[in-house]
């Protein structure tokens, strides 16, 4: 951390903006996370400024100076924004926010913020740690590695800060002070009064971070799960039979942890263990294309990786409703994938995720058991692979990784001798057909169309035409027919049965 006389680590964009901002009639201060990060030796991509008045006007003047558009985010609170694209800000998109004081003066503004480590200000002309204004002891908490609310009702007044506290603790590797822990527990039920969009944004930041499993565990420990994700909270103490060794909630958190380890092993080569090494080796031919799939942008500014993690979060959410014991006392969860898909859909819609995102997660949850069922067969046929992707579509790529993470969480590792290798065989086979034989096995080009069927068979438009086309597509994917003549012959036999 910077000593008071040392220069701060600040965004290079500030050097360009400093003359303009320093020339304003009223003082301009950099506040919040950018000041905190500067003390930690990090350059922030989000720069928040406060001024006594006319913040939106300042945003537009900065936009004009940078030849970029400015936006009025909140006219009532006098807040504006300029987004600086990557090519103008050192390769990283930077957001510049300008807001009027939240109180009568700067100190009042800082005291109204969430945590002391975010309640420091730097005059725009300042470049050293000694220039920072710190009325609440934020720097001392930063040096001690503590997350502390700025005042006794800070979390009560804005309950979404409870989730932000967890994120701060995880991202920075800090501890929550006892008073803030109690404040989180007390404010947890009130998070239901917050707009769903704000809760969604904080939750997704937690799930998109480096330790989503720890975030979920902290949400559980701090009584936030029932308020934010009641379907997941309901999984606590839901027992499972062997080979499971955890209740469903603990297993869910373990699955998310194992999924992140798989991501690291496949895409960053930063995790190692015999099972992960085996997965990295077996899936290496598809790693680049999988990386692109999970890096894609989805409507609502989500990534494919985040949708995969949401699928892992909800994959067993249907088990609380479907738990049954058979005559031998073994616990069963028949239909839990379909029930979980329904629960995931309801929760994600309530959190205002996009239709595309909800549909994708719903499909992942509904089909997540299929690779396990395929692994119970000696060989996986082309017909079975076609049926899997017909049900799952591109979400089948997510299901492949999720099934591996689920296996590792279930067994606490690779499991019985050969079981991990067999699961890898199944998933690698699914990926091989999807990436290398897509037009043969997954979505073959039709050998005949509906008009040909109707002409040759003398049938009218209707469900029978669709049934026959589906039958022909599956037979073609299975390698049973390869020509139009063979397709028509099969259609004749099937139609006359």
Quickly state the pLDDT bin for 206 (edges 50, 70, 90).
very high
Q: What pLDDT shows up at residue 474?
A: 95
Please list the residues that pair with 84 across neighbouring strands.
94
Q: What pLDDT shows up at residue 1?
A: 62
Q: What pLDDT shows up at residue 16?
A: 87
Determine the average pLDDT of the residues in 17-39: 94
Residue 497, pLDDT above cutoff 80: no
Determine the average pLDDT of the residues in 434-463: 94
CA 96 to chain centre: 24
Whole-prediction pTM value? Answer: 0.93
Q: What pLDDT shows up at residue 417?
A: 77
* Tens-place pLDDT, residues 223-239: 999 999 999 999 999 99
Alpha carbons within 13 angstroms on the beta-carbon side of residue 175 total 7
Q: What pLDDT shows up at residue 10?
A: 87
Residue 320, pLDDT above cutoff 90: yes
Average pLDDT, rounded, for the chain: 94
Closest to 124 measured CA to CA, from 2, 14, 3, 42: 14
Residue 484, pLDDT above cutoff 80: yes
Determine the average pLDDT of the residues in 37-60: 93
* Tens-place pLDDT, residues 366-410: 999 999 999 988 899 999 999 999 999 999 999 999 999 999 999
Determine the average pLDDT of the residues in 109-125: 96
Residue 3, pLDDT above cutoff 60: no
Q: What pLDDT shows up at residue 4?
A: 54
Determine the average pLDDT of the residues in 176-182: 98
Residue 6, pLDDT above cutoff 90: no
Determine the average pLDDT of the residues in 462-474: 94
Q: What pLDDT shows up at residue 89?
A: 67
Residue 213, pLDDT above cutoff 80: yes
Residue 421, pLDDT above cutoff 90: yes
Residue 149, pLDDT above cutoff 60: yes
Domains, the chain, with CATH or none: 1-144 (3.30.460.10), 145-228 (1.10.110.30), 244-442 (no CATH), 450-495 (no CATH)
Q: Could you tell me what percent of the chain has a pLDDT over 70?
A: 98
Q: What pLDDT shows up at residue 377?
A: 87
Quickly state the pLDDT bin for 312 (edges 50, 70, 90).
very high
Q: What pLDDT shows up at residue 11?
A: 86
Residue 2, pLDDT above cutoff 60: no
Structure tokens at 105: 């003066």
Residue whose token pair is 């989180």: 184
Q: What pLDDT shows up at residue 43?
A: 82
* Tens-place pLDDT, residues 449-462: 999 999 999 999 99
Out of 83-92, 209-218, 260-269, 278-287, least confident range:
83-92
Q: What pLDDT shows up at residue 96?
A: 94
């Amino acid at each position: 951390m910077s000593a008071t006389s040392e220069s701060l680590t600040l965004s290079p964009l500030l050097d360009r903006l400093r003359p303009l901002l320093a020339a304003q009639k009223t003082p301009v201060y950099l506040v919040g996370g950018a000041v905190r990060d500067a003390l930690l030796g990090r350059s922030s991509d989000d720069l928040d400024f406060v001024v006594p008045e006319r913040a939106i006007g300042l945003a537009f003047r900065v936009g004009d100076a940078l030849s970029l558009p400015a936006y009025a985010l909140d006219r009532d609170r006098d807040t504006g924004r300029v987004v600086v694209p990557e090519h103008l800000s050192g390769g990283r998109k930077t957001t510049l926010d300008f807001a009027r004081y939240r109180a009568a003066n700067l100190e009042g503004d800082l005291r109204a913020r969430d945590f002391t480590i975010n309640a420091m200000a730097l005059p725009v002309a300042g470049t050293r740690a000694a220039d920072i204004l710190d009325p609440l002891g934020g720097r001392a908490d930063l040096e001690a590695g503590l997350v502390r609310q700025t005042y006794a009702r800070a979390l009560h007044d804005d309950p979404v800060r409870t989730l932000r506290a967890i994120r701060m603790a995880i991202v920075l590797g800090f501890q929550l002070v006892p008073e803030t822990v109690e404040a989180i527990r007390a404010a947890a039920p009130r998070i239901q009064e917050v707009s769903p969009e704000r809760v969604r944004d904080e939750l997704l930041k937690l799930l998109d971070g480096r330790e989503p499993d720890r975030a979920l565990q902290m949400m559980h420990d701090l009584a936030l799960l029932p308020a934010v994700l009641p379907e997941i909270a309901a999984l606590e103490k839901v027992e499972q039979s062997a080979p499971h060794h955890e209740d469903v909630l603990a297993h869910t958190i373990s699955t998310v942890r194992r999924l992140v380890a798989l991501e690291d092993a496949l895409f960053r080569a930063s995790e190692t263990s015999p099972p992960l090494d085996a997965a990295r080796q077996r899936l290496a031919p598809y790693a680049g294309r999988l990386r692109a799939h999970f890096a894609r942008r989805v409507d609502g500014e989500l990534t494919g990786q985040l949708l995969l993690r949401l699928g892992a979060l909800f994959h067993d959410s249907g088990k609380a409703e479907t738990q049954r014991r058979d005559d031998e006392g073994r616990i069963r969860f028949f239909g839990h994938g379909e029930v979980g898909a329904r629960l995931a859909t309801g929760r994600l819609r309530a959190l205002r995720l996009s239709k595309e995102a909800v549909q994708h997660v719903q499909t992942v949850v509904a089909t997540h058991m299929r690779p396990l069922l395929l692994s119970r067969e000696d060989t996986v046929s082309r017909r079975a692979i076609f049926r899997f992707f017909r049900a799952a579509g591109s979400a089948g790529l997510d299901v492949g990784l999720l099934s591996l993470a689920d296996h590792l969480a279930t067994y606490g590792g690779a499991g019985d001798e050969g079981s991990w290798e067999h699961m890898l065989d199944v998933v690698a086979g699914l990926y091989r057909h999807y990436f290398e034989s897509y037009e043969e096995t997954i979505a073959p080009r039709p050998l005949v169309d509906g008009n040909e069927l109707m002409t040759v068979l003398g049938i009218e438009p209707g469900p029978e035409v669709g049934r026959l086309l589906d039958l022909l597509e599956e037979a073609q994917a299975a390698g049973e027919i390869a020509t139009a003549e063979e397709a028509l012959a099969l259609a004749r036999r099937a139609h006359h049965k």
